[in-house]
Amino acid sequence: MATDHRMGPLKKADLKYGYADVAGSDEPAQKAEPDSSRLNRREWYEVLYFINKFANLNGKGSAGVARHAEKLIHENVPPDLHNHDKIRQWLLDHWKFHS
């Protein structure tokens, strides 16, 4: 059974950075998966999905991994990186330097 990255390990209330309000429901289960090619770092739903997926695939579903990924995305990942795969690879390559 596939993991639904919309549902955890973190919820919207767990996010530490400010995000733009997006129209529609705040319930992740009611939203479709975001665009898998480009990450909009200003929209909570896209960041939440990305960090949950990263934590589920690379951190055994750890909330701590998801929180750290959010921090790195906002404070360290170069702003010119937008592609999911490139951001994921940047996180994997630089994780130990920012722990």
DSSP secondary structure letters along 20-77: B--SS-S-GGGSPPPPSSB--TTBHHHHHHHHHHHHHHHSTT-HHHHHHHHHHHHHTS
Q: What is the DSSP letter of 9?
A: S
Range of the domain at 39: 8-22+35-98
Supply the pLDDT for residue 54: 97
1-10, 13-22, 60-69, range with the lowest pLDDT: 1-10
For residue 82, being part of any structural domain is answered with yes
For residue 92, being part of any structural domain is answered with yes
For residue 68, being part of any structural domain is answered with yes
**90 and 73 in contact (C-beta within 8 Å)?**
no
**Structurally, how many domains does the chain consist of?**
1
For 31-79, write each residue's pLDDT tens digit.
555 666 899 999 999 999 999 999 999 999 999 999 999 999 999 999 9
For residue 30, being part of any structural domain is answered with no
